[in-house]
Amino acid sequence: MVDIVTLTLNPSVDVSLSVERLVDTVKLRCSQPRKDPGGGGINVARVLKRLGSDCLAIYLAGGSAGDYLGGLLAAEQLQTKRVAIRAETRENVTVLETSTLREYRFVMPGPTVSELEWRRCLDALEAIDPPPRYVVASGSLPPGVPTDFYARVARWAHKAGVAMVLDASGEALAAALEVGVFLFKPSLDELRGLSEGPLATRAQWREAAQRLVQRGCAHKVALSVGGRGAILATQSDVVQLPAVPVTVVSAVGAGDSFLAAMIWAIDHEASSEEALRYAIAAGSAAVTNPGTTLCDPTDVVRLYHDSLALAAIED
């Protein structure tokens, strides 16, 4: 039996490198590129494994890039189920401009996926017996996958008694929230798209997250706003905590680390405040590392204890 399953419909090989300054036309001398596994669900699974959770990552992949991605995941000894597709898995590129410390992220749309291929992904999930306790649907949908894909997963989760965790955007997000999920992690822009008004203050962030819970879109809503902290709204309370100060190297994968640690904490029956502190610690740990390295458990524990000195925000 597997406890947690993640779904990644649009994974990637994440290529990260640095250059002194981005200038058009001329040849730019770059650092040696670093390559990491990428994609929301895959990143969540990588962090969950590091934290000791029993996790299976289901993902679509094809071509030589898909083979390379599989090799990267095998090197991390991650339990996976690859659903083969004919088209080539994408590569995303992150460039750090060392003269300014600005990070530029170039994200590809991904391969076109056939109906047979995306249905095989659903079949792989539904074939797990007994069903997992959690299913994490995270990341963008590639061309060819219907916008109601995550809603289909949500309906299956309801029937199977599985807690669904969602990190998505746009029409795919809206369709799944109509069905309802256990935990939803929006960005501030995504929360604004689901709410009325600009959401310019912390109080407005809290109210918007609470409304999603009250409307039945999710049992829990976790909002991370980077250096401004994070919020966890549930059916019984709302907790808001400040960020843990760290030196940022790369923001890639911080949200996935945040979400993975929250799932891990909730699975270990942590309180709302404890779960949010672990999530903030993992997101903060991730940004101190290059590329899609994600977080190290030792750093997560250290930053969690640092966060205990920071009081909850009451406004």
Q: Which residues are catalytic?
A: 256
User: How deeply is 222 buried, as exposed, middle or buried, from its count of CB atoms within 10 A (0-12, 13-18, 19+)?
Assistant: buried
Phi, psi of 276 (to 5 degrees): -70, -35
Of 54, 47, 39, 68, nearest to 4 (Cα)?
54
In the chain, % helix, strand, coil (3-state, to 5) comes to: 40, 25, 40
- Given a contact cutoff of 8 angstroms between Cβ atoms, the answer to whether 140 and 255 are in contact is no
Rounded to whole angstroms, how far apart are CA atoms 177 and 137?
12
Rounded to whole angstroms, how far apart are CA atoms 282 and 47?
9
DSSP state of 236: S
How many C-beta neighbours within 10 Å does residue 299 have? 17
Angle at 164 between CA 163 and CA 167, to 5 degrees: 150
- Given a contact cutoff of 8 angstroms between Cβ atoms, the answer to whether 19 and 28 are in contact is yes
Give how far the C-alpha of residue 176 lies from the chain's centroid of Cα atoms, to the nearest Å.
Answer: 16
- Beta strands 80-84 and 34-38, pairing class: unpaired
DSSP state of 68: H
Of 138, 161, 113, nearest to 58 (Cα)?
138
